[in-house]
Amino acid sequence: MMRLVDRVRAFLGPEMAGPGFALLAVIVFFSLVSPQFLSRATFGSVAFQLPELGLLTLAMLLPILTGGLNLAITFTANIAGLTAAWVLKSNGGADAGPLAFLIGCLLAIGAGAASGLVMGLVIAYTRAHPILVSLSMMMFLRGLGEFLTRGGDISGFPVFIQPLGHGSILGLPVPLLIFIFCVLIWHVLLSRTQLGFNTYMIGSNIEATRYSGINTRRVIVLVYTLSGVMCAIAGIIMLARFNSVRVGHGESYLLITVLACFLGGINPFGGFGRVIPVFVALIVLQLLSSGLNLMGANQHLATAVWGILLVAVMILRFAATRFQFFKRKEG
Amino acid sequence: MTELAKSSQAPLLSLRNINMTFGGIRALKDVSFEVMPGEVHCLAGENGSGKSTLIKIVTGVYRPEPGAAIEYDGQTYSHMSPVTAQAAGIQVIWQDLALFPEMSVAENIAFQTVLGRWPRVISYSRMHEIAVKALARLGVSLDVDRPLKDYQIAQRQIVAIARALIGDAKLIFMDEPTASLTQSETDHLMDIVRTLSASGVAVVFVSHRLAEVLEISDRLTVLRDGALVGVYPAAGMTQSRITELMTGRTFEYDVRSREVSANPVVLEVEKLSRPGLFEDISFTLRGGETLGITGLLGSGRTELALSLFGMLKPRSGTIRLEGKPVRFSSNRAAIAAGIAYLSEDRLSLGLIQPQSIADNLVIASLDRVTSGGFLSDDRKRALVAQWIADLGIRIGRQDDAISTLSGGNQQRVAIAKWLATNPKLLILDAPTVGVDVGARAGIFEIIAKLADSGLAIILISDEVPEVYFHADRVLHMAEGRIVNRFTPRDCTLADIEAAVYA
């Protein structure tokens, strides 16, 4: 029995306390004030909104763990979506076949990977700051995308891709399933592979990691490339959900992904943090906005409440460490 | 200050019945401590003996447990607070000095005098004046308008002392003051301390290396494991006696130097050069042999080691490992070929301080804990447990951050990390830096055992006795070249010291 508890605790990690508590608080609060909160409708809206923000958050997570940042995530997703759209368009638009879609997806992932690869190479070899490098990439992709689309929408895709954005399997939305699959992959990657191990070590001290015989450049390049791939998956999901691609879509998610990482206990300076608490943190954020929506609150107010929540979490974390410190001193 | 004057006076500071507990561990047990006005006092003890806790009680950072009696300058306190301690003239000069490198010397010295409750205009000419006066009191003149970073560590230390004097200090604690000073700088610091003492300021040296400061000290207080060992007159005290008191053990090393010419050659270095760093380096190293390399900072020792480890490419010359010429493109190639390098900078290059003991131990040998492409937690734990047992490392849990360990235990983990890569050649660069005297003996025991098992070892140290007692042969490097070769069994320690410090 103890062993099981330990295993569960090891799986969740100490970072779980904050998001877990927030989840409980949000569920209790909204089910008290709104009887419709604990319903299929809430679940449905959360389940469909979660994946886009979630996938982009996963894309942000890896660079943050290395002590960096990827500010180009949303526009990488747009460019990847654009790549897939272009393949569909040039193969008959709404009449394009599944093969064209498959090729489109592969090229989209290739485009996302390329964006990450270039950033990773620049960061690893020039040691330029990741914020500056990814900001440059963001501006490049944005300009490129707006130039190619003339600022407009690209739409008119075959019907068969719609389930990817709206369909359900056994009552679970397809985008949610894809997201959960990606969460599990990221979890295994970080906790069970050498790449994940090295990602954490680099986040704490890249020079000491290099002195230990780790190819730190390779790890950095891989991390940003994988980040780009995750952006591409988000871009494909967005294409299917909106049945269109527009450069700039999802731009407002950028900073929320950073905050979701911190809410999930990721150390803002790198080296520490796990995937599962971030997953829970994302659910908290979505439940909060759905709950406020139910109460008839304005969407902008929901955003404001997110801000308050994050500040509250930081104050609580500070208080928790202070409390532990005093407990130890009195011990 | 004469003995007579001192005995007739009441102590400036007197602590009695000081107890302090952290998380169930008693950091101080019934300690008493006394400083006379104008006295030069040494407070000695290993890391973890309670020295810093004691200072923090005197300066009000910690509050001792009830029952403590603190008397200072005729007043009785149950505890100090940082504000009362400062106002009463108690100052600490920490080892890292706590100065502002980007600001001018004058600003560093005088900033506290211009701070007020409310924003006000700062008079730079007044700060300049205050700083010059404070330095003059120490018999030093510096250009106080230059930024502090333009000055060497020894001068920065003087700036820190000058700043302490601004607060009208009566009692100054100096934390490891001579750790980064050369002999002449230490001599100068001692002159300044004499000046301070003559003007009635008491100085307490807090250190575990006291040879340099003993001659000007009046008394010595020794702590061990949080308890008072005793208070001794400094006259007639020696470093070895202090070490004995601090550790409760005596350390007498025999010269280890042995003849190993029958063993197979592991490393041959021939005319290895990298202009500007090291030049024309040639030596051979056999299995089971420990080769000491000594020399002052900047002699090219570390650069030579890094080029053997593949992190610094030599311009010319050859390296042969077990007879085969090698050229490493990176340290990964060197590790794969069987070379391990323990960095001299354990805090920022040797270990990843925030991460766990287990992760630090396996980082260089991840393939050994990987099966089928995935890291195996069970394998990792088993490997770590095995090394912890083999090297006698004292830890709490494997998942604790490595920074929670003492210097000696950290260094054992760092050695284990490299032994786990199964090396043929182990390069140890200053393996005892930041390690207590008692724990150093343990490190050398490990090194001797490794050599006996056939490992080739390069032991780099700027402490000549370390290479003299623990290496089979010693190379002396200066300005990037090997200038002397010694065999400890055929020479005296003084021979090598004379050559190195000449």
CA distance A69 to chain B (A): 20
With contact defined as beta carbons under 8 Å apart, do B475 and B291 qualify? yes
Same domain, B316 and B433: yes
Same domain, B275 and B366: yes
Contacts of B343 in chain A (CB under 8 A): 208, 211
Is some CB atom of chain A closer than 8 A to the CB atom of B349?
Answer: yes
For residue B246, what is the domain's CATH number? 3.40.50.300
Element containing residue B381 per DSSP (H, E): helix B377-390
- Closest-CA residue of B relative to A188 is B374
With contact defined as beta carbons under 8 Å apart, do A109 and A229 qualify? yes
- Closest-CA residue of B relative to A189 is B374
Nearest to B352 among A196, A204, A328 (CB): A204
Residue B48 maps to a domain: yes
Is some CB atom of chain A closer than 8 A to the CB atom of B350?
Answer: yes
Highest mean pLDDT, choosing among A237-251, A310-324, B99-113: A237-251
* A 268-297 residues inside an 8 A Cβ radius of B: 271-272
- Asked if A201 and B363 come within 8 Å (Cβ–Cβ), the reply is yes
Interface test with B, best of A189, A211, A267, A274 (most B CBs within 10 A): A211
- Asked if A329 and B370 come within 8 Å (Cβ–Cβ), the reply is no
Strands (E), B36-116: 40-44, 69-72, 75-77, 90-93
Q: Which of A331, A325, A288, A329 is nearest to A307 (CA)?
A: A288
How deeply is B17 buried, as exposed, middle or buried, from its count of CB atoms within 10 A (0-12, 13-18, 19+)?
A: middle
- Asked if A197 and B421 come within 8 Å (Cβ–Cβ), the reply is no
- Closest-CA residue of A relative to B20 is A329
Same domain, B327 and B394: yes
Q: Tell me the CA end-to-end span of chain B in Å, nearest whole number.
A: 35
Name residue A9's amino acid: R
Q: Is B346 left (phi over 0), alpha (psi -120 to 50) or beta?
A: alpha
Same domain, B46 and B186: yes
Both tokens assigned to B306: 């890094």
Given B167, B196, B222, the domain boundary residue is: B167
Distance CA A285, CA B402 (A): 35
Same domain, B138 and B197: no
Same domain, B460 and B339: yes
Alpha helices by DSSP H, B226-265: 239-247
Residue B126 maps to a domain: yes
Provide the pLDDT for residue B110.
85
- Asked if B364 and A212 come within 8 Å (Cβ–Cβ), the reply is yes
Main-chain dihedrals φ then ψ at residue A205, nearest 5 degrees: -170, 100
Same domain, B39 and B65: yes
Element containing residue B447 per DSSP (H, E): helix B437-452
Nearest to B352 among A205, A328, A331 (CB): A205
CA distance A58 to chain B (A): 21
Same domain, B13 and B85: yes
Interface test with A, best of B349, B352, B418 (most A CBs within 10 A): B352
- CA dist A270 to A70, A167, A274, B362, B400, Å? 13, 37, 11, 20, 18
In the block, residue with structure tokens 């400062």 = B86
Residue A283: how many CA atoms within 13 Å on its side-chain side? 24
At A66-108, the pLDDT tens digits run: 999 999 999 999 999 999 999 998 988 788 888 999 999 999 9
CA distance A67 to chain B (A): 14
Same domain, B391 and B270: yes
**A240: pLDDT confidence band, cut at 50, 70 and 90?**
very high
Same domain, B311 and B292: yes
Is it the case that residue A325 has pLDDT exceeding 60? Answer: no
Nearest to A197 among B21, B24, B375 (CB): B375
Provide the pLDDT for residue B24.
63
Is it the case that residue A5 has pLDDT exceeding 70? Answer: no
Residue B9: how many CA atoms within 13 Å on its side-chain side? 20
Domain that holds residue B141: 98-167
Provide the pLDDT for residue A106.
97
At A273-316, the pLDDT tens digits run: 999 999 999 999 888 888 888 887 777 787 788 888 888 877 87
- Cβ neighbours around A269 below 10 Å, total: 11
Q: A150 or B118: which carries more pLDDT confidence?
A: A150
Domain count, chain B: 3
Torsion over CA of A269, B306, B404 and B435, rounded to 10 degrees?
-150
Over residues A188-201, mean pLDDT = 96
Contacts of B381 in chain A (CB under 8 A): none
ipTM exceeds 0.85: yes
- Asked if A331 and B23 come within 8 Å (Cβ–Cβ), the reply is yes
Provide the pLDDT for residue B2.
44
Interface test with A, best of B363, B384, B417, B427 (most A CBs within 10 A): B363
- Asked if B375 and A271 come within 8 Å (Cβ–Cβ), the reply is no
At A35-61, the pLDDT tens digits run: 888 787 888 888 888 999 999 999 999
Dihedral sign from CA coordinates of A139, A144, A150, A152: negative
Distance CA B23, CA B251 (A): 32
Q: Which of B61, B58, B112 is nearest to B90 (CA)?
A: B58
Nearest to A193 among B311, B375, B421 (CB): B375
- How big is the CA angle at B68 (ends B64 and B69), to the nearest 5 degrees? 125
- Closest-CA residue of B relative to A215 is B332
- Closest-CA residue of A relative to B21 is A329
Given B167, B185, B203, the domain boundary residue is: B167
Same domain, B451 and B313: yes
Nearest to B348 among A205, A213, A271 (CB): A205
How deeply is B215 buried, as exposed, middle or buried, from its count of CB atoms within 10 A (0-12, 13-18, 19+)?
A: exposed
- Asked if A213 and B350 come within 8 Å (Cβ–Cβ), the reply is no
pLDDT, averaged per 10 consecutive residues of chain B (502 residues), comes to 54 90 77 92 83 88 88 87 86 81 88 72 83 84 87 82 83 80 76 88 82 82 89 84 79 80 94 94 95 86 94 95 94 96 91 94 94 92 94 88 88 95 95 80 93 95 89 93 93 86 69
CA distance A14 to chain B (A): 12
Over residues A164-178, mean pLDDT = 88
Residue B260 maps to a domain: no
Q: Which of B16, B51, B469, B36 is nearest to B246 (CA)?
A: B51
Residue B257 maps to a domain: no
Is some CB atom of chain A closer than 8 A to the CB atom of B236?
Answer: no
With contact defined as beta carbons under 8 Å apart, do B357 and B399 qualify? yes
Q: What is the pTM of this model?
A: 0.79
- Asked if B332 and A208 come within 8 Å (Cβ–Cβ), the reply is no
CA distance B463 to chain A (A): 24
Distance CA B482, CA B148 (A): 36
Contacts of B342 in chain A (CB under 8 A): none
- Asked if B363 and A272 come within 8 Å (Cβ–Cβ), the reply is no
- Asked if B332 and A193 come within 8 Å (Cβ–Cβ), the reply is no
Same domain, B151 and B289: no
For chain A, state the CA radius of gyration: 21
Distance CA A115, CA A111 (A): 6
Residues 6+ apart with CB under 8 A from A304: none
Is some CB atom of chain A closer than 8 A to the CB atom of B398?
Answer: no
CA distance B208 to chain A (A): 27
At A124-141, the pLDDT tens digits run: 999 999 999 999 999 999
Residue B2 maps to a domain: yes
Both tokens assigned to A109: 């992932």
Nearest to B21 among A191, A193, A331 (CB): A331
